[in-house]
Amino acid sequence: MLRVRCLRGGSRGAEAAHLIGAMLGRAVTGWVQRTFQSTLSAAAAHSQRAVEEEHVTEPVQQECPVCAYNEWDPLEEVIVGRAENAHVPPFTVEVKANTYESNWAFYQKYGGQSFPTDHLKKAVAEIEEMSNILRHEGVTVVRPEPIDWSMEYTTPDFKSSGMYAAMPRDILMVVGNEIIEAPMAWRARFFEYRAYRPLIKEYFRKGAKWTTAPKPTMSDELYDQDYPIRTVEDRHKLAASGKFVTTEHEPCFDAADFIRAGRDIFVQRSQVTNYMGIEWLRRHLAPDYNVHIISFKDPNPMHIDATFNIIGPGLVLSNPDRPCHQIDMFKKAGWTIVKPPAPLFPDDHPLWMSSKWLSMNVLMLDEKRVMVDSNESSIHKMFESLGIKPIKVSIRHANSLGGGFHCWTTDVRRRGTLQSYFH
């Protein structure tokens, strides 16, 4: 409160009155100016928020750019991975459990380093050619960002270096108009999502749903540090008894352990996908989708699409070396089970992260076209007998990095509707 003392008498009283008036005038003027500036600032901030909110909530396009319900509807847009800068993962317990003893010396020598340079250059060229052929077939192709995977990083729970952004099928799953980022189990892949974020953000801005599953801490408790792997027989016994290198400490899964058939999605418990991860996705997708756990006679289960690859409505490729324990339920549902021929990979060709059965890891462009290895003449004949045209491409050097055509891609948009194919 401003207290005013009135002065009386002559010129001094007049001067005092003038001084007090000037002081009051300046106080009032300053208050008005500050109030006006504050009002302007608030209005500007409100205007900026309104612009931002309007940008975020702009009308969604009539057709969402992301939509896929199965593995065979006509393919319109696809993410193709990158081999550039790919690094061999450090030879940790989870990597050891997913690789065969014949390759352990390679990991011990190159872990944390680039894949062999000449081999990597050929892989890059093959994937570029594959992308060009997809475009020629009328498919829009997008690619993840190139990243320096040699950079070491430290979390409160572990240290590692990176790996690659070669296999989008492992990290991204599209179900309807939703992109789901998988909580993968390898420490070398902890930051792999960064290569795909620019693409995902753009799809989100255009109307797609975007979900990131709970990211695992990847602490030591997620892995059986004493996982006893020595021989193929050991692996068969461990898998048959339900023992894997990943524990149930926290949810984890690779998206490539799931395969879609409309309202029904099939998954295997594997070295990188645990029951907590499966249950998380089941609850997330319920009640619109049913998630079924199936299993195989497989000594080293990791990713379902070179074991059980659904290529059409009620039509599945089933690996004869890894029979499905629940195959009768597919037969009862009226499905056709096709056993692909033995792969033709030469024995001296390096496959550091997978088996020769990448021959059946194919990508359906629609029900009548399939992208398949140009060297696999036996499987060409099989597809032709099914009335499906093989689109032949060679990615033999890219195969060495751990995947076939299905692994190297994630289908963003297929032209189709949600249906049930499993009754």
The number of residues in the chain equals 423
Peptide bond into 216 cis (omega under 30): no
Active site residue 254: yes
Q: Of these residues, 73, 170, 254, 298, which one is catalytic?
A: 254
Nearest to residue 168, comparing CAs of 135, 143, 146, 149?
143
Q: Of these residues, 119, 303, 397, 406, which one is catalytic?
A: 303
β pairing state of 178-181 and 409-414:
unpaired
Active site residue 303: yes
* H or E stretch covering 274: none
Nearest to residue 76, comparing CAs of 391, 370, 366, 313?
366
* Dihedral angle computed from the Cα positions of residues 94, 145, 61 and 182, in that order, rounded to the nearest 10 degrees: 10
Report the C-alpha gap between 261 and 253 in whole angstroms. 19
Q: Of these residues, 67, 252, 324, 407, which one is catalytic?
A: 407
DSSP result, 277-344: HHHHHHHHHTTT-EEEE--BS-SS---GGGTEEEEETTEEEE-TTS-BTTHHHHHHTTPEEE-PPPP-
Active site residue 407: yes
Contact 377, 136 (CB under 8 A): no
Amino acid at residue number 51: V
State how far the alpha carbon of 230 is from the alpha carbons of 4, 97, 108, 343, in Å: 95, 10, 16, 25
Report the C-alpha gap between 318 and 341 in whole angstroms. 10
Active-site residues, by number, are 254, 303, 407
